[in-house]
Amino acid sequence: MNDPYKILGVSESATNAEVKKAYLDLARKYHPDNYHDNPLADLAQEKMKEINAAYEEINKMRGSGRGSGSTAGRSGSSYGYGGGTARETWSGQSDSSVLQQVRIAINTGNLTRAEGLLAGYADHNAEWNFLKGAICYRRGWLDEALRYYQNACQMDPGNPEYRQALDFMQNAGASAYSPTGAFGTEVCGGDNLCQKLCCAWLLCNGCGFLGFRC
């Protein structure tokens, strides 16, 4: 395994608190929630595993080697951001076996098959729209995805799975991590002084890397 300190980006002389903070920052950055339905989700998952392993390794070394006490050693055995995906879109059950197959195809990344199956399915119900939206999202067709999710929610307003997908789109995929705070085209980044001060404030407070929960 690579040097666990290097993976967490801290020196070997870092205090336990510094190690923990570095770990939490990285865990927030690569959290599965930030890579929900993302074509690179598997890479983020690998990264998460690597960080968890590095953190546990350091805790083990410090716990036994230096005898740094049970409080520090135990406080960190990984944060519970496991390697798995936190929100599973595809947990929902389909009424029809065709739509169930579409879910499987999307899960395995076979978007062409998923699309073909949907094209042959005559009933354009809420789930059909939801799945169509999911395919568009994976392709990076974000506006189309938004519109299909809206249709799905209109047809079946009580469905939490569709609602969650639409909420995510309407937040423009805002994630827990950003080095500069909650920025957006309409949020910040203007030319006027007030906005620049706002940016400067966020940058200073974020120390460039702290990340903000939006």
Partner 1 sequence: MFGYVRPPLQELPQEERDRFRRVYCGLCHTLSRRCGFAARFILNYDFTFLAILLSDGEESPCACGTCIASPFQKRPYCTGSSALNLAADESVILAWWQIQDHIVDSGVFRSLKYRVASLFLARSYRRAAEARPEFDRATRSQLEKLAALESEDCVSIDLPADTFAELLAAAADAMEEERRRRILRQMLYHLGRWIYLVDAADDLKKDTVSSNYNPLIPRFGLKSDALDSDSREVFAQTLDHSIRLMATAYELGEFGCWSPILEHTIYTSLFQVGKAVLDGTFHATVPKNKKDKIVEEST
When asked if residue 109 is in the footprint of partner 1 (CB under 8 A), the reply is no
Amino acid at 149: Y
Q: For residues 1 and 54, what is the distance between their CA atoms, to the nearest angstrom?
A: 9
Give me the least distance between CB of 185 and partner 1, in Å please: 4
| Site track 21-40 with partner 1 (rule: CB under 8 A), x = hit | --------xx---xx--xxx
Q: Number of C-alpha atoms within 13 angstroms, CB side, residue 14?
A: 19
- The answer to whether 177 contacts partner 1 (rule: CB under 8 A) is yes
Sign of CA dihedral 106, 110, 115, 121: negative
Tokens representing 126 are 């809420």
Query: For partner 1, which stretch binds (CB under 8 A), given 10-18, 52-60, 63-71, 142-150?
Result: 142-150
Query: Smallest distance, Å, CB 33 to partner 1?
Result: 11
Helix axes 111-119, 126-139, angle to 10 degrees: 150
Instruction: Return the residue of 11, 95, 184, 197 that touches partner 1, per CB under 8 A.
Output: 184
Assess 212 for contact with partner 1 (CB under 8 A): no
Judged by CB, which is closer to partner 1: 57, or 144?
144
Nearest to 78 by CA among 60, 97, 95, 99: 60
Under the binding rule (CB under 8 A), the answer on residue 139 touching partner 1 is yes
Q: What angle is formed at CA 128 by the lines to CA 122 and CA 131, rounded to 5 degrees?
A: 140
Binding site for partner 1 (CB under 8 A): 29-30, 34-35, 38-40, 43-44, 47, 136, 139-144, 146, 169-170, 172-175, 177-180, 183-191, 199
